[in-house]
Amino acid sequence: MMRSIHYIIITLLIALATPTFGLIGGFAVDVNVFRGPDEASLVEVVWSINRGSLAFERFEESWADTVLLDIGIFDGAEVTDSATLMRIIEIPRGEMVTRDYLLFDKWTTTLEEGQYRLVFTAVDVGDGDTVESEIDFTVRPFDKGLWLSDIALASEVSMNPEGGIFNVGELKMLPNPAGAFGISFPTMFVYFEATGAPEGDTLDVSFSILKPGGEPVKQFDKLKVAVSGETTPILNGFGVIGYPEGAYLIRADVEARKAPLQAVAEKGFTVSKGRVRPEAAVAGIDTTNLDREYNYVAYLLNTNEKRIYERLPAESRVEFLSRWWDERNPNPRTPQNEFRQEVVSRWHYADEAFAESGSGGGWQTDRGRVFITHGPPDNIERSEFAMQSNPWEQWQYFALEGGVFFVFADERGIGRYRLVHSTAQGEVFDPSWFQKLMDPHGTSRDPDNR
């Protein structure tokens, strides 16, 4: 049995779209098995924790908290491997302590073939909160023919020549241990490795998305991958925000062209578009919450309705908003107003998902306005990791006005996105938006000129 103790300061962060609070929120663990050196199996354990749910304390010029992680791998009742990790999380002075980020980390070991159980426990030293996860997994024998590793899911892929724990070659793959994708993570990247195919052969990789029961949802064109060594890495990305909310499988069917070799790998994932806080949607309207109630509909009222509302006293404003919602109730026979539920859910999601420093709340940003007004986009395209421009993302709505898109850009590279171009009526129209973001050498690819 091996046991190790490690100390490190976590610095890898990514903003959350749907913040979670309470007992170490945002906690997720995943296990993936790859072929390691000398015919060994390399087991990678990746996890995430929401920084905003930790109990920070002031420490000199920063805030700090410590998380203890206990990892145990069991073969039946026997402990095969284990580790105790101490992670110290520091927040620089001036940064919000409760701002929600995901912290990512990874631990690796080697195992022989067999059936195992991972028991993973995280303890917030600041307040004693504890969370635990158990995962059963299999280390498969290496087939004489084509052998595929597990599929690892990632939310982002970027160039990182400096290297790091999440690097594969010069690419950094930010893991998604929860397998959860949505507005913040609209693209699902899948990575796995193939061994056993002869060098010089070509692998045909057919990706498909299935429902949990195996019903086909989407079949993609074949990906052709050249075999140039003992291990062939396979990476692909899929936009999944357009799929209905729910659970899915990503399946990879791999076949060698020259050698009679075939293999299959599958992985589960979910799509969520941010329906949150239903209790806010059923709360009554009164004079104590008028400001919030008005904010819910601020983007939906026309100019005349806003003018009338501003002239009314508080009691009449309550009646005005109640009547406004009633007139748009799609089914008055049900106890709840489904339209109100949808709009309020959008508002709360936008307020949390698109919050930016100095914005006063995510609902007041350009992305928040579009999300509240039109709902989740059917597709999101983001600037590619190889681009040299500032970040941007393009939201597509296929049924709105016959098909429109909105482009939001972080023009100064400080995390504040502004609407810079749209084909929707009444929105800013600037076909030269991309040129304004290009790097000085003009090496970026214009998404509108493919």
Domains present along the chain, CATH in parentheses:
1-139 (2.60.40), 143-273 (2.60.40.3880), 278-362 (no CATH), 379-437 (no CATH)
pLDDT band (50, 70, 90) for residue 413? confident
**How many CA atoms lie within 13 Å of 266's alpha carbon, on the beta-carbon side?**
10
> CB-based contacts of 128: which residues, under 8 Å, 6+ apart?
none
Distance, CA of 288 to CA of 368 (rounded, Å): 24
In this structure, the number of other CB atoms found within 10 A of the CB of residue 429 comes to 12
Strand partners of residue 9? 88
C-alpha to C-alpha distances, 359 to 21, 91, 346, 356, nearest whole angstrom = 22, 21, 18, 5
Residue 441 has pLDDT above 60, yes or no: no
Distance, CA of 446 to CA of 312 (rounded, Å): 49
Residue 5 has pLDDT above 50, yes or no: no
Which of the two residues, 75 and 386, has the higher pLDDT score? 75
Q: What is the pLDDT of residue 390?
A: 79
Q: What is the pLDDT of residue 418?
A: 95
User: Mean pLDDT across the stretch 239-254?
Assistant: 92
Q: What is the pLDDT of residue 440?
A: 34
pLDDT band (50, 70, 90) for residue 329? very high
Residue 442 has pLDDT above 50, yes or no: no
Distance, CA of 8 to CA of 52 (rounded, Å): 19
C-alpha to C-alpha distances, 369 to 96, 299, 336, 363, 417, nearest whole angstrom = 24, 7, 24, 6, 12
Comparing 41-55, 93-107, 117-131, the range with the smallest average pLDDT is 93-107
List, for residues 265-314, the tens digit of each pLDDT value: 999 999 987 654 445 555 567 777 889 899 999 999 999 999 999 999 98
Q: What is the pLDDT of residue 306?
A: 96
Cα 201 to chain center, whole Å?
35
- Provide the 3-class DSSP secondary structure of residue 352: helix
Q: What is the pLDDT of residue 22?
A: 38
Distance, CA of 339 to CA of 303 (rounded, Å): 21
pLDDT band (50, 70, 90) for residue 100? low
Structure tokens at 170: 């010069």
Q: What is the pLDDT of residue 21?
A: 33
Distance, CA of 43 to CA of 34 (rounded, Å): 6
Distance, CA of 356 to CA of 360 (rounded, Å): 8
User: Mean pLDDT across the stretch 149-162?
Assistant: 92
Element (H, E) at 322: helix 314-327
**Pairing mode of beta strands 62-75, 114-124:** antiparallel
Element (H, E) at 57: strand 57-59
**pTM for this prediction:** 0.74
List, for residues 364-384, the tens digit of each pLDDT value: 999 999 999 999 898 888 875
Residue 354 has pLDDT above 50, yes or no: yes
Structure tokens at 258: 């020259």
Residue 285's nearest CA partner among 300, 296, 298, 301 is 296
Q: What is the pLDDT of residue 275?
A: 56
Q: What is the pLDDT of residue 24?
A: 65
List, for residues 32-53, the tens digit of each pLDDT value: 999 998 878 999 999 999 888 8
